[in-house]
A and B are shown apart, each in its own frame.
Chain A
Amino acid sequence: MCDTCGCGQEGNPVRISRPGETDLHQDHSHNHDHDQNNSHTHDSVHSHDHSHDHPHQKMIRIEEDILGKNNLLASRNSGFFEAKDIVALNLMSSPGSGKTTLLERTIEAVKESRKLAVIEGDQQTMNDAERIHRTGVPVVQINTGNGCHLDAEMIHRAVKKLDPPQESILFIENVGNLVCPSLFELGEKSRIVIISVTEGDDKPLKYPTMFQQAQVCIINKIDLLPYVDFNMEKARENALAVNPKLELFELSAKTGEGMDHWIQWILTREP
């Protein structure tokens, strides 16, 4: 089954491309034949109860982690990064929090002192990879189709294509989504969640899983603070309530305010 749309067809609609490559805009097109009773049957989950005895019925204890396969692949990625002294950072946020701009500014600030590589994740388009490409840093784009998150297998494939250099920092920009990416380990060293002041200061309470799994929280677009009802104290309090170990940075990727601390953090990352 395809996990992009749940249809019965096999095949992997996830596409991994470098800027400039051709076949980039094919759609994920499956034929859904609605004549063959392909409709969703929600009821079937709870039906088919059998009250009579089954002589050969047997209970098997499993106790297996549902995300075990992803976590195993993530460990493989992590081992690869460790062997090549690569620091992989997983950047996650809602769409529009300024991840790509932050990444562009960060790259400009550190590219002279550190080797860098980028994996961009979006449902569609090469737009973000093109932006990173213009900074001169090697980049591949993962297009997940309708998928709402990156997973360890996609990173495995993207890393093969990207071939990030030894001792580099690998930025992984996840699909813009504050829910789903938090469940899927990629093999990263650290998780960074980004929110902006145009979002509410209660974001950490509304999406606790994301903030609990992260090591760093960046509050972006602080240049807009005078124009929005965002209480910075409250936001910090909420973030630390959900995860007391979070390291917080307040900055504006646009004006550069507060970027120094963040850049310092990046430059001191060791594999």
Chain B
Amino acid sequence: MHELSIAMSIVDIASRKADEASAEKVTLVELDIGIMSGIEFISLEFALSVAVKDSILEGTRFKINRIEPLCECSSCNHLYTPGQDFGACPECGKQEIEFIRGKELQIKSLLIDQKE
């Protein structure tokens, strides 16, 4: 259940940024989470609902962008979407997989209501 630690980090960072921008309210938090980042999405949504309690993010909507994995073959630079068996490069057949997308764990943006 590391999603709770992740959710708390999200709330910490977003609250700090909201505070720096003199936000009265945070309407939306946009996250980029890679499919291969090791996060269970349902758990993260649940953890966020718990982690926002008593923070400026209580009632905030979370938009979670699921980033699909993309690999590059280190041998021939072919780009491909890895299957569940992390099979060899469909172009050259070598097993030299390098993830270039799909491991994101990032807060992308906040939508805030600013104080008068």
Q: A6, B51: Cβ atoms under 8 Å?
A: yes
Within 8 Å CB of B6, what residues of A? Answer: 66-67, 183
Within 8 Å CB of A54, what residues of B? Answer: 27, 113
Within 8 Å CB of A182, what residues of B? Answer: 38
| Residues 1-41 of B contacting A (Cβ, < 8 Å) | 1-2, 4-6, 8-10, 12-14, 17-18, 21, 24, 27, 31, 36-39
Within 8 Å CB of A50, what residues of B? Answer: 27
Check: B93 CB closer than 8 A to any chain A CB. no
Check: A268 CB closer than 8 A to any chain B CB. no
Nearest CB of B to A133, in Å: 29
CA distance A209 to B14 in the complex (A): 26
Q: A66, B59: Cβ atoms under 8 Å?
A: no
Q: Which of A63, A69, A243 contacts B106 (CB 8 A)?
A: A63
Given A46-B61, A62-B108, A63-B107, also A56-B113 (CB < 8 A): yes
Q: Which of A62, A66, A208 contacts B105 (CB 8 A)?
A: A66
CA distance A68 to B45 in the complex (A): 20
Given A57-B27, A63-B107, also A45-B12 (CB < 8 A): no
Q: B53's closest neighbor in chain A, by CB?
A: A8
* Per-residue interface assignment for chain A, residues 186 to 227, with 1 indicating a CB less than 8 Å from any chain B CB and 0 otherwise: 000000000000000000010011001000000000000000
Q: A63, B108: Cβ atoms under 8 Å?
A: yes
Check: A99 CB closer than 8 A to any chain B CB. no
Q: B59, A47: Cβ atoms under 8 Å?
A: yes
Q: A181's closest neighbor in chain B, by CB?
A: B2
Q: A40, B12: Cβ atoms under 8 Å?
A: no
Within 8 Å CB of B54, what residues of A? Answer: 1, 8
Nearest CB of A to B91, in Å: 16
CA distance A40 to B24 in the complex (A): 24
Q: B17, A60: Cβ atoms under 8 Å?
A: yes
Q: Which of B46, B95, B110 contacts A240 (CB 8 A)?
A: B95
Given A56-B116, A62-B110, A151-B5, also A1-B45 (CB < 8 A): no
| Residues 44-65 of A contacting B (Cβ, < 8 Å) | 44-50, 54, 56-65
Within 8 Å CB of B107, what residues of A? Answer: 62-64, 66
Nearest CB of A to B15, in Å: 12
CA distance A43 to B61 in the complex (A): 10
Q: A66, B106: Cβ atoms under 8 Å?
A: yes
CA distance A117 to B111 in the complex (A): 48
Q: Which of A8, A42, A179, A205 contacts B38 (CB 8 A)?
A: A179
Given A63-B108, A69-B12, A179-B2, also A44-B84 (CB < 8 A): no
Q: A61's closest neighbor in chain B, by CB?
A: B109
Check: A148 CB closer than 8 A to any chain B CB. yes
Check: B80 CB closer than 8 A to any chain A CB. no
Check: A244 CB closer than 8 A to any chain B CB. yes
Within 8 Å CB of A266, what residues of B? Answer: none
* Per-residue interface assignment for chain B, residues 33 to 70, with 1 indicating a CB less than 8 Å from any chain A CB and 0 otherwise: 00011110000011111111110001111100000000
* Per-residue interface assignment for chain A, residues 27 to 53, with 1 indicating a CB less than 8 Å from any chain B CB and 0 otherwise: 000000000000011111111111000
3 shortest interchain CB distances as A-B pairs: A180-B2, A209-B38, A241-B86
Residues of B within 8 A of A (CB): 1-2, 4-6, 8-10, 12-14, 17-18, 21, 24, 27, 31, 36-39, 45-54, 58-62, 74, 84-88, 95-97, 99, 105-116
Residues of A within 8 A of B (CB): 1, 3, 6, 8, 40-50, 54, 56-70, 146-149, 151, 179-180, 182-184, 205, 208-209, 212, 238, 240-244
Known: A62-B110, A241-B97. 5 other contacts (CB 8 A): A240-B95, A241-B87, A241-B88, A243-B97, A244-B95
